[in-house]
Amino acid sequence: MSLGRIIKFSFQDIVRNMSLSFMTVLILVLMLLSINTLIIVQVLTDRSITSVKDQIDVSIYFDPAAPEEKIQEVRDFVAGLPEVTEERYLTREEVLEGFKQTYAANTEIIASLEELGTNPLGSTLIVKTREPRDYEKIMTALSVPEYDEIIETKTFGDTETAINRIEMVTQQVERFTYALTGLFAIIAFVIIFNTIRVAIYTQRVEIGIKRLVGATNWFISGPYIIESLIFSIVSSAITVGVVWFALGFIDPYMSVVFETQNILTNYFSSHILFLLGIQFGAVFLLTFISSILAMRKYLRT
């Protein structure tokens, strides 16, 4: 019976202070949306960096006259390096075929190649490493006199600069989002704090009567704690709906960029319980602390 009365009183307080309750939920939703924006930015950044890393490699071009045993020696050496995750070898014939496909529209180059009558291209070894900075180690390891005779050149697409720029932009966006989240959290705290104080002040006579008939502090403060729980549930539910709608709008554009379907939707679907639990817990903790601090003064009197 006491719990039923506490829940009844909490809904009465929400209706009495409808405008303040609406503003409280609105600020909490904005705070949660800023948190979700930070998560989206982090997911897209990780995918961008992964995509750029996948496109980086070292191409080692061998001399056309290089003996196969020497080439195999280089392949074994490179494959044994701990930084190397993948190595792909293209024979002279495969390199020539790829060259023809690349310049198929250029009749002059194709005609010149046919006039030679022989394959002027050497084999190629393509190497991928764990991190972009590891490519410099590969280049240095192969820059020894014993390999100079069989290796014509080594190329390294320096896309590490692009990764650094992505990370720099991401850090700036994250700082802004953190600041925005903190601002909404402070505003939410102030609004909830004052909402509870106004509600308690307007009901100070009722609280006095409750004390006279033996009501405990828990019975008096219970409705406001229930209000905190209601605010947390409503704001979390609204945020989930807004975020899900936004993801459905954003994902098609991200699919074009990353050539993968439903990047954000799949991420949020697989982490929904964790994300919802963390965000609900953070909002409830914020509203609960605000309510407790607002009630302390009146519960002591």
Give the model confidence (pLDDT) of 113-159 as tens digits. Answer: 777 778 888 888 888 887 777 777 777 887 878 777 788 777 765 55
Do 106 and 125 sit in the same domain of this protein?
Answer: yes
Q: Is residue 235 part of a domain?
A: yes
62 — phi, psi (to 5°)?
A: -90, 155
CATH number for the domain including 145? Answer: 3.30.70.3040
Q: Is residue 157 part of a domain?
A: no
Q: Say how many residues make up the chain.
A: 301
The answer to whether 154 and 67 are in contact (CB under 8 A) is no
Last residue of a domain, one of 121, 151, 181: 151
Last residue of a domain, one of 151, 173, 197: 151
Do 27 and 113 sit in the same domain of this protein?
Answer: no
Q: Is residue 98 part of a domain?
A: yes
- pLDDT tens sequence across 191-239: 667 766 666 666 666 666 666 666 666 666 677 778 778 888 888 899 8
Output the CA angle 92-98-104, nearest 5 degrees. Answer: 130
Round to whole Å and give the CA distance between 53 and 76.
23
User: What confidence score (pLDDT) does residue 9 get?
Assistant: 64
Which domain range does residue 138 map to?
Answer: 57-151
- pLDDT tens sequence across 32-71: 888 888 788 878 877 877 777 777 777 888 888 888 888 8
- State how many domains the chain has: 2
pLDDT band at residue 109 using 50, 70 and 90 as cut-offs: confident
User: What confidence score (pLDDT) does residue 160 get?
Assistant: 57
Lookup: tokens for 157? 């697409």
Lookup: tokens for 19? 């405008």
Round to whole Å and give the CA distance between 198 and 225.
15
Round to whole Å and give the CA distance between 196 and 159.
55
Round to whole Å and give the CA distance between 64 and 214.
98
**pLDDT (mean) for 280-291:** 80
